[in-house]
């Protein structure tokens, strides 16, 4: 791609030196799209939300990806400065080095080995900022955390409410709502709802916390409070994407084939048409657990031993139904407030559903949701890559432009493509499971069930 750009530059230079006439004269009239805000005002843009807002990917947060979160990309498109130190006009809790936690790395391609072993924790470099941040994306946050400080600083790591990211981001300066609103934001993005459903799903469970039932009232109350205090503030609101779009749930198939007959057989005790095997099952699958005796181990490990996978590594059809019902209720709550004229709605559910079905083409490359090789999801199987964030940022831009009559230019997707799986990787168009052995994942990904979520 860069080679093509260099060639194009040479050709344009040659044309100009030759005194180009005719159609190429039109090049002098091409200018970049002009930013206009329409009825919105981007003077003070503040973002609140989960790890998606924070730019979390591959198991942690680090400056180079925080700068390319959808929120940071949107901020840049409306004229804010985003720096690696986190101290720009769209500021955040920048983390240097390998990140917090150290990001997973693709250590080997043959066989693929994914691990963060041996990597030192990064350090926050902007935690002493005198004023409030503008990006309040907190990994693991639910909507209740927006205005409730009681869950922020639980010191016990064994508590289900313990979250090491709160101290890093909220910095004991009040609730996220207080910090966001005391800046009198003229524009605010509000992205919650995924963790209410994702938390139990990552553990192979459908046991929902009280946060799920509370979500509609919290969302409505938050929108009412914002509009009452700042009636001219515009808000962009996100719905919740379907979990089936995430490689964490779709990479390992609930079926294999018989070594003697070649026919499809389910993994032990599973419904091959509906049950999902979670990414944390990798080590067990390699040892043959889950595979019937006499069946093919598609991870290249030991022969099937006939023992079922633990329930924590499987999301059954019944559990999915419960979670889908909760997700639908979340999105219905978004629908109920998104018709207000000062709110723009971003349909992440439709966006990721379309990508799951058809992939996403940039130039001549089609990216997919396939784990590792698809290019749209990072190495934890849950969070988008830089390219995935750029696509989400453009969806946000489209929603804002349509709702408020703005003309925010799109993020250049080519700038988010790379050859590393933690940013983006061209999809080769083949089943990533064939001959693939994924090592060193389970311990790192297990943390997704507590604080390291969207």
Domains of the chain plus CATH, in order, are 45-244+317-449 (3.40.50.1110)
Gyration radius of the chain's alpha carbons: 23
Q: What is the pLDDT of residue 158?
A: 62
Of 412, 314, 359, the residue nearest 33 (C-alpha): 412
Q: What is the pLDDT of residue 24?
A: 42
- Rounded to an integer, what distance in angstroms lies between the CA atom of residue 454 and that of residue 448? 9
Determine the length of the chain: 454
Strands 187-191 and 45-49: parallel
Q: What is the pLDDT of residue 422?
A: 56
Q: What is the pLDDT of residue 210?
A: 84
Cβ burial 384-415 (10 Å sphere, 16+ → b, else e): bbbbbbbbbbbbbbbbbbebbebebeebebee
- Rounded to an integer, what distance in angstroms lies between the CA atom of residue 61 and that of residue 401? 29
CA dihedral 165, 169, 171, 173 (to 10 degrees): -130
Q: What is the pLDDT of residue 22?
A: 40
Distances in whole angstroms, Cα of residue 279 to Cα of each of 358, 440, 444, 448: 22, 11, 11, 11
Q: What is the mean pLDDT of each run of 10 residues along the chain (454 residues)?
A: 38 37 41 82 97 95 96 97 96 95 82 83 94 94 82 56 80 92 97 91 89 91 96 97 90 95 96 95 93 94 96 96 94 95 96 93 90 90 94 97 97 79 48 48 50 48
Determine contact, residues 135/54, Cβ cutoff 8 Å. yes
Q: What is the pLDDT of residue 245?
A: 86
The sign one gets for the Cα dihedral 258, 260, 262, 263 is negative
- By the 10 Å C-beta count (0-12 exposed, 13-18 middle, 19+ buried), 157 is classed as exposed
- Rounded to an integer, what distance in angstroms lies between the CA atom of residue 222 and that of residue 82? 27
Q: What is the pLDDT of residue 423?
A: 54
DSSP, residue by residue, 233-252 = -EEEEE----GGGSHHHHSB
The helices-and-strands tally (H runs, E runs) of the chain is 14, 13
Largest CA distance in the chain: 76
């Amino acid at each position: 791609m860069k080679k093509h750009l260099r060639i194009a530059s040479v050709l344009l230079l040659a044309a100009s030196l030759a005194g180009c006439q005719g159609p190429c004269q039109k090049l002098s009239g091409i200018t970049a799209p002009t930013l206009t805000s329409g009825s919105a005002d981007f003077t003070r843009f503040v973002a609140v939300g989960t790890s998606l807002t924070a730019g979390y990917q591959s198991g942690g947060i680090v400056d180079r990806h925080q700068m390319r979160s959808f929120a940071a990309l949107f901020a840049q498109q409306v004229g804010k400065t985003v720096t690696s130190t986190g101290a720009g006009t769209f500021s955040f809790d920048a983390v240097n080095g390998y990140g917090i936690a150290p990001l997973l790395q693709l250590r080997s391609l043959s066989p693929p080995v994914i691990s963060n072993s041996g990597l030192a924790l990064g350090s926050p470099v902007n935690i002493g900022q005198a004023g409030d941040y503008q990006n309040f994306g907190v990994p693991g946050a639910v909507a209740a955390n927006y205005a409730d400080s009681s869950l922020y600083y639980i010191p016990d790591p064994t508590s289900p409410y313990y979250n090491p990211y709160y101290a890093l981001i909220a910095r004991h300066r009040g609730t996220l709502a207080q910090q966001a609103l005391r800046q009198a934001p003229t524009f605010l993005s509000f992205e919650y709802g995924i963790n209410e459903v994702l938390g139990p799903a990552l553990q192979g469970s459908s046991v929902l916390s009280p946060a799920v039932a509370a979500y509609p009232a919290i969302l409505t109350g938050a929108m009412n409070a914002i509009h009452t205090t700042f009636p001219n503030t515009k808000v962009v609101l996100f719905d919740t994407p379907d979990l089936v779009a995430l490689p964490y749930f779709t990479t390992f198939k609930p079926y294999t084939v018989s070594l003697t007959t070649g026919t499809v057989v389910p993994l032990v005790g599973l419904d091959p048409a509906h049950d999902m095997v979670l990414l944390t099952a990798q080590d067990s699958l390699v040892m043959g657990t889950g595979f019937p005796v006499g069946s093919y181990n598609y991870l290249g490990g030991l022969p099937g031993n006939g023992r079922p996978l633990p329930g924590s590594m499987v999301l059954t059809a019944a559990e999915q139904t419960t979670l889908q019902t909760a997700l639908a209720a979340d999105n219905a709550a978004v629908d109920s407030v998104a018709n207000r004229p000062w709110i723009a709605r971003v349909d992440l559910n439709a966006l990721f559903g379309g990508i799951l079905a058809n992939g996403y083409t940039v130039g001549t490359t089609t990216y997919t949701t396939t784990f590792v090789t698809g290019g749209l999801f990072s190495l934890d199987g849950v969070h988008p890559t830089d390219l995935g964030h750029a696509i989400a940022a453009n969806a946000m831009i489209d929603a804002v432009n349509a709702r408020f009559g703005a003309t925010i230019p799109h993020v250049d997707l080519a700038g988010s493509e790379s050859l590393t799986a933690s940013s983006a990787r061209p999809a080769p168009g083949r089943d990533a499971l064939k001959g693939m052995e994924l090592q060193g994942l389970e311990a790192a990904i297990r943390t997704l069930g507590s604080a390291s979520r969207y």
